[in-house]
Structure 1
Amino acid sequence: MPQGPDTTAEIGDLWSILSHRRRLIVATTSLFGAAALAYGLWTTPLYTASVQILIDPRDRQVVTNDLTPSAVAPDGGVTQVESQVKVIQSNAVLLRAVRATGLADDPEFVPPADGIVPTLKRIVLHAPARRDGRELDADALAALRRKLAVKRADKVFVVDVVVTTADPSKSARIADAIADAYLADGAEARVQAASRAAGELHARLDGLRTDLQAAERRLAAFKAENGLIASSGRLVNEQQLSDVNARLVAAQGRTAEAASRLRRVRDPRDPAADGATTQEALNSTVVERLRSQYAELSSKDADLRMHLGSRHPDLLAVQAQEADVERLIGAELGRIGRGATTDYRRALANEASLTATLAALQSKAVATAGSSGRMRELEQDVETRRTVYNDFLLRSRQITEQANVDPANARVIGSAIPPVDASWPPRLVIVLAALVGGLSVGAGLAMGREYWKPTLLSSRQVERLLGVPVLATMPALSGPPDGAAQLSAALVVDGLHCLARPLGRSRVASVMVTGAPSEGALRHDVLDLLAASEVRRGGRVLVVDADLGGPGADDAGLLDVLRGECRARDAATEDPRTGAWWIGLGRRVGGAGNPFGRDGGRRFLGDLAGSFDTVVIDGGSLPANLAAGPLTAAADQLLAVFCEGVTPQSYALDLLKAAAVVGRPLTASVLVGRRSAA
């Protein structure tokens, strides 16, 4: 016996559930659709305007060494652009836009103080009736955030600022104001950053200047204490030492040159010692002129000697002139030799003087060598401090000037245009979505109702749950039986006959028909169809009303027969609709107890065996009609009638238990289509 209802369903069962509860689904869908249509008609239309801002992470290279870095991040600047999206949504930018557009005075953003919602808010929160400008700005800011959307598409640096309000012009105006506020806020932030950095540098410059002046004073005091006088960045002593050394080298060269010239002039062993052939003699204009005169006289002497003879007075006069010229040349060469001696002596004296001066300067340099090292350390310290001070001063002036230059590469590429069509509500989309949602919710409610109160959905489920065959699935019975209903009834009768053959019978002698308490009309229709089908086969059929829960009748019937007040043949009447005979429940007698007794059912059916071929008994709802248990136990077969999608599975399980109690197991079942949706 099954332990509980079968909550599993096949695909066909699901469609059966939806079909049987179609009224619930249609009602839910209609409700959703009507609500969506009402919302679309009564909701204030909203208009959306957007402005596009291009934010290039590569800043413009207006000046070098800019305060903000211009290099693009490894991620291509996406992180920087995403950060700017958050900046656009910041309080600083939005508050600037709120004040620029006067949203604090707009009823759409800040409802009037005498409205219903503000009044309830003041009552609940005990807020003051009057609010200052900051509170109004805060309310306008909160309302603007609800109407604002800032988004960026993938792989682009274009940011869309979308504003939705009830006025198209207002939406465009606010969107443009937010874009302008973002650009202005960025420029102001850069100015503030530059001013702050310049201020910090200026504050540091005073300390650097003080340190530099102290270092310079220490250097000057040290030089004064140690007699270290500098000129053009070098000590005077070092300059003198270098100059004297250079002059000494030059003097030594001149001394060597004078000595060489003197040696050529005086040394007779030297081939160049001939005074007339020395370089000084050759360079002397006097010697050159005298040699020219001597050459002329020699030429004249040779000519006279050839024509006049060696004793001619003219020849003697020429020879006397030659002797005078030779004497003059010798005198000039002697003067040149004396000059070379004088130059040599002068060079020696100059060299000795420079050597003495150099020695004195070297002694002084050795004495001041220790002080020079300390002085260089002080000079290096001064130079370092001066370099740092100059760098800070230059950077401070650069930043001050850069505050007036905007290197940011952000611009508005698409101003907001007042929209023509409303962006909300999309009536058609809302209605379609509501219909789909209502259909889904209705189907869910139908499935949920079936899950919490499962019914018998199909013949396969009935056979799986009860373990008995379903002889036929009849169509819905709503009026005179048609051909399909009669055919299904014939299949049921054939099935009952087949189930009776293992008992050694060719026909069914008696069959008890039972069903749910709420399905009495359906059970009666099935009884009539079964009786009519058996009559058409030529059998004598008797239909007995054994539903003790029924109202009874004034005519003689089953109860009268059981009490022995009349015979069954006398109580039976012919039913013109089916052609079968029929016995009603009969008259009730108070305090009569169970009319069947232990063997009443068996005796009743035994009395009918010779008069009728088949007895069809209306047993009502077996779990509620256990008093008719002796008659049920005496019947040859127990047939259950179920309504598809209506009969609860709990009743089917109770029916199995009741059948086990009376000792007549369920033989078969019939599944009838429902007339209308529940």
Structure 2
Amino acid sequence: MPARLPQEKLVAIARARNESLKPQDGRNPRQKGRDRSRRRESITRKLLPFFRRSSPVVEPEYISYPARSRNGGYRYVPAISPDEPLLDIRSVVRAAYDSRRLIALLLLLGMIGGGAATLMLSRKYTAQSSLYFDPMQIQFNFDGQSQSSATAQSAAAFINSQIRILTSNAVLQNVVEKLSLTNDPEFAGADAGSAAPYAVASSLKKAVTTLRDDNSYIVALNVTTHEPAKSAEIANAIVTSFLDYENKSVSELYSGINTALDQRLVDLSKKVHAAETAVDDYRAKNDMVTAKGDLISESRLAALNDALVEAQQKTIEAMAKVDAAKRLSLADAVAGMSDSEVTSATLVDLRRQYAVAASNLGRLESQLGSRHPSLTAAKASLDGLRAEINKELKRIASVAQTELSQAKKAEQDIAKELAAQKALKLSNTSNQAELNNLELQATAARNIYEAVLKKTRETNEERNITQSNVRVIEKAEPPTRANGPGRSVLLVAGVIGGAFFGFGAGLFFAIMRRLVRHPLVRSYFAPNGYS
């Protein structure tokens, strides 16, 4: 860094410059400049202690530089002391004051320019259309029942996929062709009229945005252009193109599925016919006659098995009845404690007569003596009823035993017949196994055919209801207000911003102007003889 010039040398340099810049027309403005310098020096001496108390004041002669005056002559601007700092608050304030006219001019120009710039800005308008995406995939079978299932994750994936399709080039290119956006300079640029549709679609994609709240099935489509009507028209065209694209895709998908299923049904029908023909031929060849679709031997075996189970149940019931009859005593019968299996109408009537006779005997014993003829007759009648009840109990036991014998005999006969049928079936096992194999193949082919036929019907039903998964709940309307703040707010902001810019530029030039006049800065660019 070069050394700072001493005070005496700076004074000599200033005097030499003043002599060299003296006017040649005979006029001497030097005295006026010195008077003005003295007045400024006096003011500076009074104000200097408030800014820098340690800065020395140049006493011998004040250094000045010539400058053009208002009347066409020269005026001398006080020079800056070498001891003053390059930049501080006082120097900034003095620089701003010295260049106040320039700062005011730039401030005014900035305000005018900022306001004009905001008025020249092109406004943008956003139109919005809302769609409802139903993630529930409704499926109908041929008997009218419906099934719906969708998890939160699958629903989110479905809606995100639909949003990607909504803003895809496949949809936007249809909008470009429908609205002739290749001729619109806003999207085609300088190539309006000759731009490729895919390039215009890519430019249109930048003006399209989608919004969706979390856990919501509603998606908002926003289109931003420089015209309100154009924004609404493009938004509605995108929605229409998206719905047409979805319907066309679904139609093509289900058409392909139905074609494949129809071809599959033809092949399966041939296989079912061949399998059923093989079963019928084998039955006719091996004399295995069927009744109502089943072999007669199989039907008889099943019937005998059911009959054996029923006979065993009757035997068990007969044994229970015999045991109950054996346990039944006269006292139990008279008291009415017999089971329903060993109760008869005769026994019930005898029990009622016995109760009446016993009640009559008790009444007579309380009124008559022990040898009274009426009392004796009542006792004889009660004894006769006891004998009748014992006789009825024996008859019931005999009947139960007879029923048990018959049930056991019937069970044994059915068991013998069932064993004979099983032996006959075992003798025909090889033919039956082959027949079962053929029938199994025919049944499998028939089940597959019915499943594919059912799927074909379900596909046709799904094709008819798929369009209900997407619905337009709000069409786009031309917006009445542009995006962002109004023009008055923009104008005020532009004026304020321009004012700050103009003031900053003027202050910057004023500071640079003062720095250039500083002796320390000038010493860097002084000739070698001054250093």
- The structure whose residues are more often helix, as a share, is 2
With a CA cutoff of 8 Å and minimum separation of 6, indicate the structure with the bigger relative contact order.
2
Structure 2 length-normalised TM: 0.49
Structure 1 length-normalised TM: 0.40
